[in-house]
């Protein structure tokens, strides 16, 4: 197995763990919050999935920098300035910062939750969409719009389902 294949597998593992964990955390959160309060047994799946999310992020970051080194050492430095690559790095940075702010309870779940979900799915799409040919600012602008839309959608869901938290 060459280094490129090893990095691809590692990167995919990190993405799968992170995207999977965040999606199920969202599902369990909405399900638990429906009756207006989250019981300890309802919080348990969320508590168990959080370390998986963190593990996914660590694997993603380390394997991501593995790619950086691979490009640097094999004469493909121009890929490091590719807008899609830079946007993906920015989004992963936002995932890390958002995670910290959520952990420290500096931002509410109603904001941090959508940022987390949209960011993980955006990182996944940006990684998979090879032919994406947009500027860095267009990609990040679109990402911000999707985050804002997700926050509003969550607010609407809570209103429709009469969720207080």
Partner 1 sequence: MSLVLKLALIGHVLSGLLALIFYYAMIPNLIGKNLQPNFLKRLSLAGLVTLLFSWILAGYYYTQYYGQSVKPIIKSGQLPWAHSILMETKEHIFLFLPFLGLVLAAACLSSKSDIDKDETLRKALAKLAFVVVALGTAVTIFGVVISGAAK
Binding site for partner 1 (CB under 8 A): 58, 61-62, 65, 68-69, 71-73, 75, 77-81, 89, 93, 96, 100, 103-104
Q: In the complex with partner 1, which residue's Cβ is closer, 105 or 159?
A: 105
Nearest CA to 33 among 87, 109, 98, 124? 109
DSSP state of 129: -
Min dist. Cβ of residue 33 to partner 1 (A): 22
* Residue 60: closest CA among 110, 10, 3, 24: 10
Cβ(125)–Cβ(91) below 8 Å: no
CB of 80 to partner 1, least distance (A): 3
Among candidate residues 124, 148, 129, 144, the one with its CA nearest the CA of residue 23: 124
Q: How many CB atoms lie within 10 A of CB 14?
A: 22
- Which residue's CB is nearer to partner 1, number 27 or number 65? 65
Q: How far is the CB of 94 from partner 1 (least distance, A)?
A: 12
CA distance 18 to 118: 12
In this complex, which beta carbon is closest to partner 1, that of residue 102 or of residue 118? 102
Number of Cβ atoms within 10 Å of the Cβ of 9: 12
- The least CB distance from residue 27 to partner 1, in Å, is 24
Q: Which is nearer to partner 1, 96 or 151 (CB)?
A: 96
Taking the complex as a whole, how short is the minimal distance between the CB of residue 162 and partner 1, in angstroms?
Answer: 31
Smaller CB distance to partner 1: residue 57 or 118? 57
């Amino acid at each position: 197995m060459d280094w490129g294949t090893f990095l691809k597998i590692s990167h995919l593992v990190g993405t799968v763990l992170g995207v999977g964990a965040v999606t199920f955390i969202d599902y369990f959160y909405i399900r638990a919050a429906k009756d207006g309060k989250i019981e300890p047994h309802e919080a348990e799946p969320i508590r168990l999935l959080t370390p998986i999310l963190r593990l996914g992020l660590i694997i993603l970051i380390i394997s991501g920098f593995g790619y950086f080194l691979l490009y640097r050492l094999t004469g493909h430095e121009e890929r490091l300035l590719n807008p899609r690559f830079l946007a993906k790095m920015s989004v992963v940075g936002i995932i890390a910062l958002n995670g910290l702010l959520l952990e420290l309870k500096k931002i509410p779940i109603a904001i941090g939750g959508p940022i987390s979900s949209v960011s993980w799915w955006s990182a996944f799409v940006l990684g998979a969409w090879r032919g994406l040919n947009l500027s860095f600012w267009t990609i990040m602008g679109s990402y911000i719009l999707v985050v804002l839309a997700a926050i509003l959608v969550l607010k609407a869901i809570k209103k429709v389902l009469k969720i207080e938290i």
